[in-house]
Amino acid sequence: MTCIISSAIAQDELPSPSFQQQSHDHITEVHFTEHSTSALQGKWLFYPSQFIVQPSPVLQSKTVELPASFKTLAGSNSGYGTFIGYFKIPKEFLGRRIAIRIPTQYGAYRVYVNGQFIVRLGEISTTPDKQVTEKAPRIGYFVPDTEYITLSIQASNYTHLHGGLERPMQIGVAGTINRQFQQLMMSIAMVCGAVLGVGVFTILFSVFRGSRERNSKSIFVFGWFIVFLALHNLFSAPYAYSVFTNINWLWGTRLEYLFTFIAAFFFLSYMHLFNRRYLNPVIYYIAVVLLVFNIIFTLFSPPEIFERLALFSAIFALVIIGNFIYGFYQTLRYKEHYSRLNLIAIIFLCVTFLNDYLLLINVIKTTHLFFISTSIYALLIMFQQSRHYAHQTYETEQLNLNLIALNDSLDQKVKERTQQLREVNAKLEQQMNIDALTGAFNRRALNHEIQQQFLQTRQQPQHTLIFAMLDVDFFKNYNDYYGHLKGDEILKNLVRIIQGTLPPSGYLARYGGEEFAILLTGMPVQTALKNLENVLNQIREQRMQHLNRPDEKDYVTVSMGAAWVEQKHGYADIHELMKAADVQLYAAKQAGRDQLKIQKEVD
């Protein structure tokens, strides 16, 4: 690697006061937290045609903002230079491992923090023949001992389409940066895996379906298109393959273009087989010749040649898109049936292809969309085929079922009607047990449930039943002030809060009006009391407004009275148990409301 450092005089001279002031003016404060990152934006000093580690007051520099290309800064993407930025990081992260995530850039670079090397991509050089170019994301790590850091990035590039630091970088805690990077790579791998699975399934489906069946050949070709589309997405930006393979950059780039050409071949073949109106045979064969020509050059020439050839060849895509448009016009003209989903997917695919092509030749400044569009396209087409196949299967099954139904005996039909009647009765039974307003159990269901639980306390020595009555404090005042509709909303919200607070075994029923009942079983009394207190606390924390109370509170509360029964602590019957809880509810109201009272001993 060739690296030019500024002269000894420039490195050893003491910075002038004006240079120190300039450095101070360029400090950018970055704000990241334990779980979030920050973009490395702000003002940078750019030293064209220099590789330096520390800022120099002697060398000429200019203030720039990143991301930016060499063409924007120096008039050409071919060149080299150093970007130096001053940043202030949060003081609480001193001594912690900090990471800088650099997405895929064009060319090569080396990164230093406070003069210490942390990460590189390829090999930078002052001449094209000695530079080693790579395309891959990188993460650099360092441990700061001061909140002020100087970030130096030496970059070089000798391709004419792109160069510089054109994509934004992120800084944050190493764990957060790693997690975000892994999430990105895992999401790409998952999408590619899903698309690949769709392609393999489609191929196998067409093989087992048989070549003589209608559309089997087009389905087979479409399956291979999906397979190579998934491989293309794996090798395209942000180059997820570089994370888990040792494929070098040259072959990674070749495979990216090869998979692109092969996927394009199968896609055009699919459209040609689908309907020749959408792709004229002459245009199709010209496109195939261009693809074969590009594949040969990609295998045996350097990236500078086959990438430029691919860009020129892609112009022919405008002819193909024009053929698609004309074919669709013919379909509309003759009022033939067409798939809207397929039309939307192809339009989306063509638009994103044009977006990425114009982005690649530096006509527009957007982001790469072809990965997203191709993945969505594959899934949409598979969705359409799956739906069509499901509809056909369903229709076939319905015909078979209708035939079976005609041959069924009257007894079988009676059984079916009986089963339907049972299901309807079960639904009606459930509706009879649910309060229509709040969704809690009603009084009828409560009476049945408490009867069952009360009997178990007499039959099982360890069974405990806790019965609680609760009442909304000053609910009549609430209705008078806010209206009955708002009062109904309060009751619904209370049911939602209580059901979310009670354990799974808890049983909530509307007793009547603004009164509710709670049953707790299978737990010690003290645990049940904690659950009931938790209900009161959760309702308080909601701070549901109630300005028409005669006391000092301005939010909705409830009062609660409880009693419990077990084999050694019993009541004569359910009515005595419920009466005891009701007495405690009255005691809670007399004691100031918004509290729980419980019957400790049986009278």
Tokens of 455: 């009997």
pLDDT at position 211 is 66
Interatomic CA distance for residues 506 and 494, integer angstroms: 15
Domain final residue pick, 391, 409, 424 = 391
In this structure, are 352 and 372 located in the same domain? yes
Pairing of strands 116-121, 108-113: antiparallel
Pairing of strands 596-598, 558-565: parallel
413 against 442, higher pLDDT: 442
Under the banding of pLDDT at 50, 70 and 90, the label for residue 217 is confident
Q: Specify if 603 maps to a domain.
A: no
Q: Specify if 434 maps to a domain.
A: no
State phi, psi for 301 to the nearest 5 degrees. -125, 160
Range with lowest mean pLDDT among 52-56, 132-136, 351-355, 452-456: 351-355
CATH, residue 512: 3.30.70.270
Under the banding of pLDDT at 50, 70 and 90, the label for residue 346 is confident
In this structure, are 162 and 52 located in the same domain? yes
Domain count, the chain: 3
Residue 585 has pLDDT above 90, yes or no: yes
Residue 21 has pLDDT above 60, yes or no: no
Residue 225 has pLDDT above 70, yes or no: yes
Which residue do the tokens 């093989």 mark? 207
Q: Which of 19-23, 232-236, 354-358, 568-572 has the highest mean pLDDT?
A: 232-236
Residue 221 has pLDDT above 60, yes or no: yes
The parent domain of residue 229 ranges over 179-391
In this structure, are 185 and 298 located in the same domain? yes
Mean predicted confidence (pLDDT) in 477-488: 92
Q: At what angle do helices 249-274 and 216-235 cross, to 10 degrees?
A: 160
Tokens of 244: 């888990």
In this structure, are 130 and 24 located in the same domain? yes
Q: Which of 223-237, 392-406, 467-481, 567-581 has the highest mean pLDDT?
A: 467-481
Q: Specify if 3 maps to a domain.
A: no
pLDDT at position 11 is 37
Residue 91 has pLDDT above 90, yes or no: yes
Please indicate, yes or no, whether the overall pTM of this predicted structure exceeds 0.75.
no
Contact 566, 464 (CB under 8 A): yes
Range with lowest mean pLDDT among 145-154, 404-413, 575-584: 404-413
What's the start-to-end Cα distance of the chain, in Å? 94
Mean predicted confidence (pLDDT) in 587-594: 93
Residue 152 has pLDDT above 80, yes or no: yes
Under the banding of pLDDT at 50, 70 and 90, the label for residue 194 is confident
DSSP codes, 564-583: EEBTTB--SSHHHHHHHHHH
Q: Specify if 407 maps to a domain.
A: no
Q: Specify if 290 maps to a domain.
A: yes
Q: Which of 170-184, 352-366, 374-388 has the highest mean pLDDT?
A: 170-184
Domain final residue pick, 122, 144, 168 = 168
In this structure, are 451 and 587 located in the same domain? yes
In this structure, are 124 and 184 located in the same domain? no
417 against 282, higher pLDDT: 282
pLDDT at position 601 is 55
pLDDT at position 292 is 95
In this structure, are 148 and 187 located in the same domain? no
Domain final residue pick, 168, 202, 225 = 168
pLDDT at position 27 is 87
pLDDT at position 594 is 94
pLDDT at position 597 is 93
Q: Specify if 594 maps to a domain.
A: yes
Q: Which of 318-332, 333-347, 362-376 has the highest mean pLDDT?
A: 318-332
Under the banding of pLDDT at 50, 70 and 90, the label for residue 365 is low
Residue 12 has pLDDT above 70, yes or no: no
Tokens of 48: 């064209």
In this structure, are 238 and 387 located in the same domain? yes
Mean predicted confidence (pLDDT) in 370-390: 73
Q: What percent of the chain has pLDDT over 70?
A: 89
In this structure, are 225 and 347 located in the same domain? yes
CATH, residue 217: 1.20.1070
In this structure, are 460 and 379 located in the same domain? no
In this structure, are 592 and 453 located in the same domain? yes
In this structure, are 125 and 217 located in the same domain? no
